[in-house]
Structure 1
Amino acid sequence: MTSAAARAALDLTADLPVPELEDFYRDLHRHPELSFREHRTAARLAARVRAAGFETAEGVGGTGIVGVLRNGAGPTVLLRADMDALPVTERTGLAYASLTDGVMHACGHDLHVTWLAGAAAALAAGRDAWSGTLVVVGQPAEESGGGAAAMVANGLYDRFPRPDVLLGQHVAPGPVGGIAHVPGLIMSATTDVEIVVHGRGGHGSRPETTVDPVVTAAFLVTRLQTVVSRELAPREQAVLTVGRIEAGTAANVIPATARIDLNLRTQSEEVRDRMLAAIRRMAAGECLAAGCPREPEITLGAAYPVTVNDAETDRRVSDVHRGVFGAGAVFDPGPAMGSEDFPHLAEGKLPYSYWFVTSTPPAVWDAAPGDDPLSRSQHVPSNHSPHFAPDPATVPTGVRTLVSGALSQLSVP
């Protein structure tokens, strides 16, 4: 049976200006901006939210925007879209590819902004169908991990209505039109770790007078591969990635230091702490074995919490999504190892639902090898790839998921 919220969502999105929204999406894709530099993107989103009738503020938490639409008694619902791009050189070959050298919307945040702009306009135009308060948030700097916290620190819930519930969504690889819901843990925590190995530099012709930090770093990188395979039980999900090694300035100079940057993905604080203890032990041991003059420096960097959906909130959203898109469109893929700073907006206590909308163009999906969605998903461009190119056909899909999600929480006659 189709719910009142699903019927209202179908009515409110029946006449979406799809070509115009797709043009907006392509424009955002051409002009990506890095974290906390989303000035053009924020201005374009703010203009649309303001035109839809929202009280609109800019510069929240740096470059964030907030729109508020009060529409009588009822719950306060926050809809969020992140706005920043990545330092990735685009290789999609799209006619609307990035015009900014070395910067690309490789994670689909341009699509997120488009979805939010479309949903804000549709909900404002259809305010006779619901009551309550809508808060729409264009968030900066999700990729660097500081945007959500910066908005909260800048008075997000002091200056604007505090939400009863938060909703967010993210584009993902998969056949166009799928909606992934998990009623609980949906995304993992992440922690960046920097290790600096201190050696003793010198001439490449006289290695015996040096302590080579490059060799020590190489041994450490190999040793770190055992943290997951030998320090954790097989039932515990975790990933350790060595994303960067930096050392040296010339081929004939043995440097004084080497830097290793790690990224950890875990699904619990306990596993994270055990991994950090292992990293510290291994780094100290390798440096001791090499005769390094100093112990290694280990610094924790950016971190994201686990993303855990409130089960009842997510059930209400997924039910209305089934009513709008059909039961076959909604699926549960289980927790992902990706991470988000969205939970910072919840301050550890506000309920939220976060879901994924799949977006791989049909021709790309059909050409991928594999007999099932899981195996095919390994062979299509994913988020953060220079080839990641969501199908613009997901523009109306994402607007409808956000509109219907909001209506599942607002008061609908």
Structure 2
Amino acid sequence: MRCPLKKPIAAAVLALAMPLALAQSPAPLKDDIKTRLDGMYPWLDTVYKDLHAHPEIAFQEVRTAGKLAGEMRKLGFEVTEKVGKTGIVAVYKNGAGPTVLVRTELDGLPMEEKTGLPYASRAKAVSDGRESFVTHSCGHDIHMASWLGAARTLVELKSQWKGTLVFIGQPAEETVSGAKAMLDDGLFKRFPKPDYAFALHSWPLAYGTVGYNAGAVSSNSDALEIVFKGRGGHGSAPDKSLDPITIAARFVVDVQTIVSREKDPKEFGVVTIGAIQGGTVGNIIPDSVQVRGTIRSYSPAVRAKLLDGVRRVAFASAAMAGAPAPDVQLISGGAAIVNSEALVTKLEPVFKDAFGDAKAQRMPAMTASEDFSQYVNQGVPGMFFFTGVYDPKMIEEAAREGGKPIAFNHSPFYAPVPEPSIKTGAQAMSLAVLSVMKR
């Protein structure tokens, strides 16, 4: 997960009001759903551990997609593979009614797992000519198992709802490019366009917990790639050269004043420089230096201010040294996800009834980014929510002073507790879908 969106307009809220008001709460089904998930869990556990042990990176998820496609066909879904290169679309029609999209991600991360689990990944992949280990350290394996559990539950309960399910397995979420690839490949043209869209994400909360919020739940994500140009020479004679390293260093420091001195301190915004590359040895001044980083924000106004500021500071840093203008690339990534207030209002009492007031809570927006917003930006009311994955005792220990910190998403030690995590995800997703489709 990364790893520009407009707020829902009034017309969209009004359009939601009638069908949401008519839908009855699926709360009476909560015990039935739990019982069904208990019965199918051995299957889900087997699939989960297989997916965990065999992760694949962005746009290489061939085995993963095939695994999910096979399972969905067994459930009676009509499955289309290779949508957006390696994505899958599974459609289940059950009479006239709303169309609901449920998304899971397929890809893992290019890093080595260090959990020590008996089913830990030792998979490797080649990307950009480099081989690396691959692991599901963002929890996409948990998401896929929950997705399958919700799909099977809804099929078993098809007498309780009507409409069309569109379950999608999206590639390349970690590179914030898979949703766009599926849309560009005709996701909403070749298949029924959804009236609602749902997705979940595992989070380092106590298992059994469901977190959500109305409005923004993730950040805008933009990348910066800047090449500062100089004139190479001997390290002992900097006056005969034009040092791009000092120009880059000035930029790295000065760009932070955009956040600390130009942005409203009450608004979220981050500019992080994550990579500086230039030079070969210590006594040679290089011709150029590349600086790369990430820009995060929630609001369009802050995003615009940060992007403008990065460009302005880059050119000013070069100008102060009398250097050529730098090459500045500001690359748009994932837009902030903005949840439908109507959907959150509808689902909140359902989640609280199923999981309890203490475990179904609103939570602040995450500073990470996600491309689920691509679907919402097509005019589809959506809700993105979070599910906990850790033993509550671990959470309590981490909260104590001097306590052992818990591993966050993208940590090589990220190790969700499978059974309660998957069951919570599948139950929450089933309830969400039933809330807008129930007869």
TM-score tier, shorter chain, comes to over 0.9
Cα distance in 1 for partners of 2:47, 2:233 equals: 56
Give the whole-Å Cα distance in 2 for the aligned partners of 1:206 and 1:19: 70
Runs of 5+ unmatched residues, structure 2: 1-23, 125-132
Which residue number corresponds to residue 417 of structure 2?
Answer: 391
1:302 is displaced (CA, Å) by: 4.1
Deviation at 1:219, TM superposition (A): 1.8
Distance in 2 (alpha carbons) for counterparts of 1:252 and 1:30: 46
More deviation in 51-60 or 7-16?
7-16
In structure 2, the residue matched to 1:407 is: 434
Alignment partner of 1:10 out of 25, 31, 35: 31
User: 2:109 is matched with which residue?
Assistant: 86
SS at match of 2:291: strand
CA distance, structure 2, for counterparts of residue 245 and residue 87 of structure 1? 20
The answer as to whether partners of 2:307 and 2:330 remain within 8 angstroms in 1 is no
Per-residue deviation at 1:259?
Answer: 0.9
Q: 1:24, CA displacement in angstroms?
A: 1.5
User: Amino acid of the residue matched to residue 352 of structure 2?
Assistant: R
**2:391 is the alignment partner of 1:365:** no
1:322 aligns with 2:322: no
**How many Å separate the matches in 1 of 2:256 and 2:325?**
21
DSSP-derived class of the 2:242 partner: coil
Structure 1 residue 69 corresponds to structure 2 residue 96: no
- The CA deviation string for residues 328-375 of structure 1, in whole angstroms up to 9 with x for no partner, is 21111122222111011123411011111111234532331437xxx9
Q: Does 1:299 align with 2:325?
A: no
**Pairing of 1:7-406 with structure 2 (within 5 A):** 7-16=28-37, 17-101=40-124, 102-292=133-323, 294-370=324-400, 379-392=405-418, 393-406=420-433
CA shift at 1:7, angstroms? 2.2
Give the RMSD, CA atoms, in angstroms. 1.8
Aligned residue identity for 2:47: F
3-state secondary structure, aligned to 2:29: helix
Runs of 4+ in 1 over 4 A off after TM superposition: none
Partner Cα separation in structure 1 for residue 371 and residue 170 of structure 2: 10
TM-score, structure 1 normalization? 0.93
Comparing 216-225 with 355-364, greater Cα deviation is found at 355-364
CA distance in structure 1 between the partners assigned to 2:169 and 2:301 by the alignment? 33
**SS of match in other structure, 1:327:** coil
Alpha-carbon distance, 1:295 to partner: 0.5
Residue by residue over 1:104-139, the C-alpha shift from the partner in whole angstroms, topping out at 9 and shown as x without a partner, is: 212111111111111111211221221111110001
Q: Percent identity?
A: 39
- TM-score under structure 2 normalisation? 0.88
Distance across 1 between alignment mates of 2:348 and 2:279: 52
Structure-1 residue corresponding to 2:12: none
Q: Could you say if the C-alpha distance between residues 322 and 363 of structure 1 is closer, same or farther in structure 2, counting changes exceeding 3 Å?
A: closer
Kindly provide the CA deviation profile for residues 289-334 of structure 1, in whole angstroms up to 9, marking residues without a partner as x: 2232x21111022411111111111222222222221222111112
Aligned residues: 405
